[in-house]
Structure 1
Amino acid sequence: MSIQRVAPGPRMSQAVVHGNTVYLAGQVAQGASIAEQSRAALQRIDELLASVGSDKSKLLSVTIYLADMATFAEMNSVWDAWVDGANPPARATVEAKLATPDYLVEFSAIAAI
């Protein structure tokens, strides 16, 4: 079975397709608030999924990393407006130290194609 790597770099690919499954790298974005960063990162997920012939209705699992769990409700307000309510993925949300203090949230996803 072939493996397709999307936007490969020296450390990672932005997405990897194997069979009928796409695995996305953690997506982060710049922004002054968790809402701004969440919207931009979720938009990037939409773009990556579209690039391999998928979309958010085919999400299987999403893991959300928050720099501060106190921002959970604000992130969820963006998530709730974005997620396909008829096809919500399995989801976990954890608090974690992210790559830089500028990042407030990171989304990692797996989807069907």
Structure 2
Amino acid sequence: MRITLDNPASAPQPLSPYYSQVARVEHPDGSALLFLSGQIAEGATLADQSRGVFETIAALLKAHGATLADVINIRTYLTDITGLDEYGTVRREFLTGTPLTSMTFEVPRLFRAEALVEVEVVAAVPATG
């Protein structure tokens, strides 16, 4: 098993030098698990921020040969749980198909005070070839 930590140049860069955006855990058969750090995005509304978050997640996955269809687990942090339906509407635009394993939390504050949502995911990438 090989573990690689990465901040792909083709995706938005981390907001701090204290973390990596992707941990890739490769199995000897060529498959891999991708663990993405929590992502936040700019925007005036929860829907705007949610779209930005999923666009960033898609870019990080693409840099490692994966797509949103490879996501198997999602954790969402909302600063106001009453926005769950608004967030859920955007989430369903990006994550279609069978519902994922999931956890959603209400938190008093995120990494940036203006952030309304933060999302982290795990994706399973099949072996190629």
TM score, norm. by length of structure 1: 0.92
Q: 1:28·1:41 contact (CA, 8 Å) conserved in 2?
A: yes
> Equivalents in 2 of 1:84, 1:5: separation in Å?
28
Greater helix content = 1
Quote the residue 1:46 is aligned against.
Answer: 58
Could you tell me which residue of structure 1 aligns to residue 29 of structure 2?
none
Preserved CA contact (<8 Å) 1:59 1:88: no
Deviates most, 28-37 or 91-100: 91-100
Q: Which runs of 4+ in 1 moved over 3 A?
A: none
Choose between structure 1 and 2: higher strand proportion.
1
Cα deviation, residue 88, structure 1: 3.1
Residue among 73, 86, 102 paired with 1:91: 102
Q: Deviation per CA, 1:21-48: give whole Å up to 9, x if none.
A: 0000001000000000000000001000
Tell me which of 99, 104, 107 is aligned to 2:119: 107
1:81 aligns with 2:108: no
* SS at 2:21 equivalent: strand
Letter of the structure 2 residue corresponding to residue 24 of structure 1:
L
Note the residue ranges of structure 2 that are not aligned, 5 or more in a row: 8-13, 27-31
Give the % identical residues. Answer: 31
Report the residue type matching 1:15 in the other structure: V
Partner of residue 25 from structure 2, selected from 11, 18, 21: 18
Amino acid at match of 2:100: P
* Deviation (angstroms), 1:10: 3.2
**Long gaps (5+) in structure 1:** none
